[in-house]
Structure 1
């Protein structure tokens, strides 16, 4: 089945259930997991990318486009993630950050340069490829971080409250940019947030980590 499928997925710590989900997110769709800090949202994302810490015990199944992700390394899962912080490499230029994400299948200097230039154009950052990331605005850095994630050719996108550090005006703009690009790339998207506006803007189902619907 295409998309991200969480089938009977439960995560417990010391026997206490933090996550209990049955959810299918189709390509180009955005589902939201909403709850306060400590409710299990980031734990869920860690399970999906294959980085769940030993105190947590997971049961159930995670599938992506028909592939069972159980036992696969983080690199082989092909799941992209955006965090609160953009985590750009300070020792690389903007273009260098983007080029770093290109898979090995993109061969040749010209082909790699072309993909980077197309990403800069898509992000509205034409002419900024040579800049130090530290000289960019918060919104520009957020767009670079997203395009770097997409250039790695993920099959799903996880959003770990990536808009929370932006001011209100920039938050709405970057949120729209991220959602539009995800739909354009036909990626299943899972957003975790404690912000009701982010959840409403996503336009998909809204659940808490225990699978209870929070949609209006």
Structure 2
């Protein structure tokens, strides 16, 4: 089965159940995990990507395209993650940042071609040699997404990546990110506390410890 499957994924800390999810996210589908701060949203993402702290206990499985990735280290899971901050490397150019996402086996002309293609898709043609510090917030967000996609993930996690943007830019970047993910056919899990993000995603809304609304989000 293609897509991301959380098979009875459960995370506890002491006696508290923070995450209790059993769901499948199909290629091109966006599922939103919503809840207030401290409700377990980011803990769910940490479990999926494999970065839970030792204080937490996890059970269940994470399946990606039918493969059990639960025992694998983060770097081997092929799951991309976008944070609130774009986390671009200040000592690298825009092209250098994009190249960081490419597999080491891609070199020379093919590497340059992949970077130029990513810039064109992000409407940033000609920005290869730019310093990331000279980019706007929206441009930085697009570079961060394209760097993630160049790593060829099989699933994408979004940890409130639009929360620091103003309302107009938020809608623009949100549309770009979700549109690209759907076009590539990635299963997406979006963490947010903003109902507008869930409405824009247009898919199911779940709480970290179980399904809150199995239907589609409405504006």
Q: TM-score range by the shorter chain?
A: over 0.9
Deviations 1:54-78 (A, max 9, x none): 1111111110101101210111000
Give runs of aligned pairs for residues 183-202 of structure 1, distance below 5 A: 183-202=182-201
CA distance in 2, matches of 1:78, 1:66: 13
**SS at 1:42's partner residue?**
helix
Instruction: Name the counterpart of 1:138.
Output: 137
CA distance in 1, matches of 2:49, 2:89: 21
Q: 1:14 Cα shift?
A: 0.8
Give the TM-score taking structure 1 as reference length.
Answer: 0.97
**SS at 1:213's partner residue?**
strand
CA distance in 2, matches of 1:168, 1:5: 32
Runs (5+) with no aligned partner, structure 2: none
**SS at 2:100's partner residue?**
helix
CA distance in 2, matches of 1:48, 1:134: 31
Instruction: Name the counterpart of 1:78.
Output: 78
**SS at 2:96's partner residue?**
helix
Instruction: Name the counterpart of 2:167.
Output: 168
Question: How many residues align structurally?
Answer: 215
Instruction: Name the counterpart of 2:203.
Output: 204
Instruction: Name the counterpart of 1:111.
Output: 110
Give runs of aligned pairs for residues 42-121 of structure 1, distance below 5 A: 42-107=42-107, 109-121=108-120
CA distance in 2, matches of 1:192, 1:120: 26
**SS at 2:185's partner residue?**
coil
Q: 1:30 Cα shift?
A: 0.4
Instruction: Name the counterpart of 1:13.
Output: 13
**SS at 1:5's partner residue?**
strand
Deviations 1:70-124 (A, max 9, x none): 21011100000000000000000001100111112323x1100000000000000
The alignment's C-alpha RMSD in Å is 0.9
CA distance in 1, matches of 2:106, 2:202: 34
1:157 corresponds to 2:156: yes
Deviations 1:16-67 (A, max 9, x none): 1011111100001100000011100101111111111011111111101011
Q: 1:131 Cα shift?
A: 0.5
Give the TM-score taking structure 2 as reference length.
Answer: 0.96
CA distance in 1, matches of 2:49, 2:22: 17
CA distance in 1, matches of 2:59, 2:15: 12
Runs (5+) with no aligned partner, structure 1: none
Q: 1:210 Cα shift?
A: 1.3
